[in-house]
């Protein structure tokens, strides 16, 4: 199975963002088309791929989903197989996820499962979200490829390799992207009174946004607002006419999401009045929570308990988002974290997962799916 590590390294070199995974899709298709095609049926959707594997005595269709996109992060791992695409990196482990999924297709192509199996290579998990439109397409155009039960994993840098961590019920948060544009009046740095400076308005907005979680959300709930990017102005001696904040909102319940948005809108209205500017909000894409089916999550934990090399862990919910939530909104299924033992976390430019997770998870998932 060491070839799966080579595959991960190949994929690590070519990270592409949502719906632009063209080289990734070609690489995946080439690997899959070189396998024995006897039990396989391959379909593409945008930059995604769906591989159906015909079972030997099926009563249902079991799904496995991998995400395939990278992030706009400049890699700083120093690895010999670092990203060849300047400014982009597989900083969320989707290269490992894809290598595992290819290993599954390979294993099932050699020895078909009893049940029919479908493997979804889904684009755009990091944004703008590929799961929801992929599912809509499947239901409308390829209903026979809609799984009856579905699973997925995500690497977890903080756990040792072999950890299989999940829980029944809510695992990941509801998310909404957040883009706020401020427009004032630019001008000469020496005449601020003749302008409406958007660096000051944006700085105030950023600070006021911090009060939403601390003052408006029930302390017994969990919520996050992160502004990951803030831009304003053009040069040191010109007052900025425009500023932009880009961020994300996370809540564990949908009502808290509505309340957070209501408060953000009120604060933006206040900024407009205070700084005599216009403020517009765009919520971008939103992901439904990952809410594991209890039977499916417990089955994963029980299987991990007896699997050589695995450590079953019933973990707490996390504020991470995942559009896999759309799959298991409609279909019983579960997602789990799998240990990756990196001292740097997800989305960090120095994140280096321990590649031993790839063969181990490939075997774990293959055997788990075979006995469902």
DSSP structure class, residue 60: S
Work out how close the CB of 179 gets to ligand L5K734KM at its nearest, in angstroms, rounded to a whole number.
Answer: 11
Closest CA to 108 of 61, 53, 68, 157: 53
Q: Which tokens belong to 325?
A: 């939530």
Q: Measured from the CB of residue 242, what is the shortest distance to ligand L5K734KM in angstroms?
A: 22
Q: Which is nearer to ligand L5K734KM, 175 or 363 (CB)?
A: 175
Q: Interface residues with ligand L5K734KM (CB under 6 A)?
A: 92, 126-127, 154, 175, 177, 248, 287, 320-322, 346
149/2 Cα distance (integer angstroms): 29
Nearer to ligand L5K734KM (CB atom), residue 92 or residue 213: 92
How far is 179 from 322, CA to CA, in rounded Å?
19
CA distance readout (Å), 334 to 46, 64, 289, 341: 25, 10, 12, 22
Q: By C-beta, is 52 or 172 nearer to ligand L5K734KM? A: 172
Which residue number, 67 or 272, has a Cβ lying nearer to ligand L5K734KM?
67
Give yes or no for a contact between 103 and 6, defined as CB atoms under 8 angstroms apart.
no
82 contacts 75 by C-beta, under 8 angstroms: yes
Q: Distance (Å, rounded) from C-alpha 95 to C-alpha 29?
A: 15
Instruction: State the angle between helix axes of 357-370 and 2-12 in degrees (0 to 180), rounded to the nearest 10.
Output: 110
Active-site positions? 67, 126
32: Cβ contacts below 8 Å, ≥ 6 apart: 40, 42, 49, 51, 102, 105
Whichever of 91 and 117 has its CB closer to ligand L5K734KM, that residue is 91
């Amino acid at each position: 199975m060491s070839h799966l590590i080579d595959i991960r390294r190949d994929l690590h070199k070519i990270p592409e963002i949502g719906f632009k995974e063209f080289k990734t899709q070609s690489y995946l298709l080439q690997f899959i088309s070189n396998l024995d095609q006897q039990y396989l049926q391959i379909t593409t959707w945008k930059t995604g791929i769906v591989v159906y594997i015909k079972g030997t005595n099926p009563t249902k269709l079991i799904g496995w989903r991998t995400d395939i996109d990278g992030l706009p992060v400049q890699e700083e791992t120093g690895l010999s197989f670092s990203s060849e695409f300047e400014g982009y990196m597989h900083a969320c482990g989707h290269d490992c996820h894809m290598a595992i999924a290819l290993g599954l297709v390979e294993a099932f192509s050699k020895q078909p499962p009893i049940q029919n199996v479908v493997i979804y290579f889904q684009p755009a998990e990091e944004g703008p979200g590929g799961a929801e439109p992929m599912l809509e397409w499947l239901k409308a155009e390829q209903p026979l490829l809609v799984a009856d039960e579905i699973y997925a994993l995500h690497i977890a840098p903080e756990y040792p390799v072999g950890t299989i961590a999940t829980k029944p019920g809510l695992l990941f948060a509801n998310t909404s992207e957040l883009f706020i544009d401020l427009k004032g009046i630019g001008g000469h740095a020496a005449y601020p009174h003749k302008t409406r400076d958007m660096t000051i308005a944006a700085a105030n907005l950023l600070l006021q946004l911090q009060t939403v979680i601390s003052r408006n959300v029930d302390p017994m709930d969990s919520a996050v607002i992160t502004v990951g990017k803030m831009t304003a102005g053009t040069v040191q001696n010109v007052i900025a006419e425009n500023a932009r904040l880009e961020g994300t909102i996370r809540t564990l319940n949908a009502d808290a999401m509505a309340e957070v948005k209501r408060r953000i809108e009120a604060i933006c209205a206040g900024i407009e009045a205070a700084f005599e500017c216009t403020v517009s909000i765009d919520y971008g894409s939103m992901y439904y929570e990952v809410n594991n089916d209890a039977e499916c999550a417990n089955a994963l934990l029980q299987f991990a308990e007896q699997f050589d090399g695995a450590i079953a862990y019933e973990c707490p919910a996390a504020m991470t988002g995942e559009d896999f939530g759309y799959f298991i909104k409609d279909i019983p299924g579960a997602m789990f974290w799998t240990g990756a033992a990196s001292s740097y976390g997800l989305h960090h430019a120095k994140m280096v997962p321990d590649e031993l997770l790839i063969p181990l998870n490939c075997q774990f998932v293959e055997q788990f799916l075979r006995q469902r």
